[in-house]
Structures are given as structure tokens and as C-alpha cells.
Amino acid sequence: MKALDWIVDEGTIPIPDGVRPEEAVFVEPVNTCLKAVLKAGVSKGETALVVGQGPIGLLLMQLLRWSGVSVFVSDLLEERRGLGRSLGATEVLDAGVDVAAEVRGLTDGRGADSASVDVQDQAARLVFGREIRVLELVSHRLPFERALEAFDLAFQPGPGTLKVVVEREPKAR
């Protein structure tokens, strides 16, 4: 399959020296999440709720925090709640409880304020400049020979599975 000329001309950016491939793969999802954050129109000092702390929820939470928003997160899995906490969530809630009631209680009854502009360059700056943390979202690194296993992990994630990266040549860590 060949990429269309306009995609190559307008949709590709060079990866700076020192940026690991598993960081660079996050430019597109950060781009998409950043569009959502900008479209939501939340302002510094507001409160948002991000339901689910998989890779996209964790990116949304970090981008909202980067925007100055107080972010409450919820997830059923303790491991993901812990990662949300370590990446900067303001409040972390167990999704097995009445999350709406918990948020109202934590905000004196106010609740959360919010749960196309091309922002790829800004998304790339955030990822490449390490203004948001993405490496903690990579849970599995598999060699190309195990690509089918990687797809199975990504399509049916279980505990401990976030972002699955297929590497051409695994590098020493």
C-alpha cells in the first residue's frame, strides 16, 4: 500500500534525534486527543472527568492537566487508576462506584465542566518535547516476528495491557 502524496507532504514530520520510536508512535493519538481537548473548550481552573484510563484516557487526562484543568479519572482496574494517579490526575475514582455522585461530592455539588483545527505540530511538540509522558503507556514491546501476538494483545487487552509496540529490531534497554 502506498501513502497518498498529500498525506506525505502535509502529514509527515521528522522525528528528532533522541526521540525513541515508541514515543514517536504517540504523535497521532496525541493529535486526536488534543483536538478533542480543544474542541471541548475547557479553560484553566475548570474540572473535567475522564472515564477510563486506557492509553487514550491517560493521554486525555495529561492533555487536560497540561491545559490547566483539574482532572478526575475513573477506571475499574486498580492498576490503571494507579497509573492515572502517577501521571497527574487530580482525583482517582473506582468506576465500580457511583462516579457522578463522587464527583459532585468532591466539587461541592458542581460536578465536571466537560468530559477542525490541525494540531499535529503541537501534538508532536508535546510528545517529542516530553511535555506529556507516553513511555509509561507502552506495556508490551514485541519483535516483528510476533506481530500477530501483538495484535491479539491490542485487540483483546487484559490487565497490564496498554499500548503494544511492534519493533523491527529490539534495542537493548
Domain-wise residue ranges, the chain = 5-137
Full DSSP string of 68-133: T-EEEEEES-HHHHHHHHHTT-SEEEETTS-HHHHHHHHTTT---SB-----HHHHHHHHHTTSS-
| pLDDT tens, the chain, 173 aa long | 567 787 777 778 899 999 999 999 999 999 999 999 998 888 899 999 999 999 999 999 999 999 999 999 999 999 999 999 999 999 999 999 988 889 999 999 888 876 533 466 788 889 899 998 999 999 999 998 998 999 899 888 888 999 999 887 655 55
Q: Which CATH number is 5-137 given?
A: 3.40.50.720
Cα–Cα distance, 55 to 58 (Å, whole number): 5
Q: How far is CA 39 from the centre of its chain?
A: 17
The CA-based angle 130-134-139, given to 5 degrees, is: 150
